[in-house]
Amino acid sequence: MISMVENNLGISILPEMIIPTSKISFAAIPLESDSYRTIGLAIRKPTSLATKKFSEITKRWVSFELI
């Protein structure tokens, strides 16, 4: 998406975390109000032990961050 914006092929709404890591050649204008997104975790069954552990750790981390 960034390359399309850089080539004047449109506009995009990007997460703030992507801006500092990119060498941008366009204007980054913050939105006036806070925006939020939902992130999901899709896991195919049967799952490996590593996948189960990753899922458990991720769920605990998200729960901790929301407190």
Write down the pLDDT at residue 47.
93
- Residues of the chain whose pLDDT is less than 70? 20-22, 66-67
Digit-coded pLDDT (tens) for 28-47: 888 888 877 788 889 999 99
Residues 6+ apart with CB under 8 A from 13: 31, 35
Domain ranges of the chain: 2-31+40-66
Looking at the chain, the number of H-run helices and the number of E-run strands are 2, 0
pTM value surpassing 0.85: no
Write down the pLDDT at residue 40.
87
Instruction: Dihedral sign for Cα 40, 14, 21, 32, please.
Output: negative
* Cα first-last separation, the chain: 33
